[in-house]
A and B are shown apart, each in its own frame.
Chain A
Amino acid sequence: MFKLRSILGTNGLKKDEIVTILDTADTFKEISTRPIKKVPTLRGRTIINLFFEPSTRTRTSFEIAGKRLSADVINISGSTSSTVKGENLIDTAQNLEAMNPDILVIRHSQSGAAEMISRCIQCPVINAGDGFHEHPTQALLDLQTIRETKGSLEGLKVAIVGDIAHSRVVRSNIYAMKAMGMEVRLVGPPTMIPVEIQKLGVSVDYYLEKAIQDVDVIMMLRIQTERQNRYLLSSLREYSNLFCLTSKILEKAKDDVLIIHPGPVNRGVEIALDVMESERSLILNQVTNGVAVRMALMYLLLGGSDDSVN
């Protein structure tokens, strides 16, 4: 059964834990289609979203997930918190914990921030993205989206294309996909692929057209112009010429290949408009599933009893 106290990353998650999360998420998805999109499960619980980085999708998704389970959700963003007065992260977390939340969701630009906080407080922590390290809920919603369409995950081949070095989404996906018995191929310019990444059990390719020919899923990553990528690329246009997923390149791929993207999308840079809007693209399904996956995690972390009903 599910015994995790916090979700800091997918590194170390076991296959049966991932399956439990995905199965639970599958059933929670139905709640969002009801006329009354709310169940009373976490009534009286408090969830704090502490976001030190900009986010639309993830923050809204966590907020909606908590509210659909009837929890009280409080959002704090970096620019409105006491950190601007110089309070350090641990003090902030301990002060928030003193108000007895039941889950603390944290996004921070420093790798390891979520884990550090989880060591300083008792309340369960969900990592909503920490630096270049992990973004576990994104990987889980990616898996749910793939499983929903393909039926199962075991043995599927995935190509992940883009800035591998600076992507927390990639790291979380590698751990989760390997745990589920999937084959992962990383694709991008050599400057964006960390040396020795193969030690995680993945293969590396530098040519998009060749790399996607036999895969079941293509995951495109955003070129993160706000990070230090300007040193890694000679120009965005060159990157786009070599690594943009266009319908012409897709002709080389399997007919039933799925395209996913963690968002936000730079239209025309890493993915062409018509590809993004084609029926093989599941980008908006990912967003829908994100709510269900986060509801599932909140439910599973705040465990109840299973021995009293007859």
Chain B
Amino acid sequence: MTSVVFDAKDISRAITRISHEILERNKGANNLALIGIRTRGVTLAQRIRVKINEIENTEIDFGILDITLYRDDIASGKQNPLVEKTSIPFPLEGKQVVLIDDVLFTGRTIRAAIDALIDFGRPSTVQLGVLIDRGHRELPIRPDYVGKNIPTSKNNRVRVRMSEDDGIDEVHIIDPSTAKNS
């Protein structure tokens, strides 16, 4: 069974609120850098960047991170995922970096993202913003900015669709025990 738990308006409000929270926590946009985690995290980060630009009227540094090469399940015997480009076109030293991803689940992606980030330099702080926190953490990782907490069971799938990538803004929960499609 598939159900929409967050629609386009919810997503838009969440992005506006997170943008304000980021500016409030970091006391403005100085030294701020947004880094999106591929793929939906990049789209989300782009929208937050635009929103912050509207609020503060300033361009902030923007990067893209592909964490595939830092995953801890690379050796588990099946097919490797395709790697896409990482681009962090600014020095990280002294930056207040906000990592952005769509769904926070086990925390392993964020662990990989932090490891990858540290290989590029030494930011002064690293914060985490996610659209959906669905629980079931396997590592001690906690988000600083959350669009919505959604309780899920562990075998549910949460899918974020963004209009830039998928033609529509919405968040689904898919329950594989009642539907075959995913």
Contact = CB atoms under 8 A, between A and B. Distances in A.
Given A2-B80, A20-B82, A27-B85, A38 B73 contact: no
A37 B158 CA distance: 35
Contact of A310 (B73, B74, B83, B106): B106
B19 interface: no
Nearest to B120: A34
B87 interface: yes
A41 B78 contact: no
A40 B30 CA distance: 32
- Give the most central of B73, B120, B158: most A CB within 10 Å: B73
Contacts of A44: 75
B119 A299 contact: no
Given A27-B66, A34-B119, A309 B82 contact: no
B71 interface: yes
B103 A305 contact: no
A24 B83 contact: yes
Contacts of A20: 82
A310 B105 contact: yes
B79 A41 contact: no
Given A27-B66, A41-B69, A304-B73, A36 B85 contact: no
A27 B65 CA distance: 12
Interface string A280-310: 0000000000000000000110111111111
Contact of B70 (A28, A34, A40): A40
A23 interface: yes
B77 interface: yes
B79 A303 contact: yes
Contact of B77 (A26, A41, A304, A309): A304
Contacts of B12: none
Interface in A67-115: 69
Instruction: Give me the 7 closest cross-chain CB pairs, A-B, nearest first.
Output: A304-B74, A305-B78, A39-B69, A306-B81, A41-B69, A305-B76, A310-B105
Given A1-B79, A36-B119, A310-B157, 9 more contacts: A2-B80, A24-B82, A27-B85, A299-B83, A304-B76, A304-B77, A304-B81, A305-B77, A310-B103
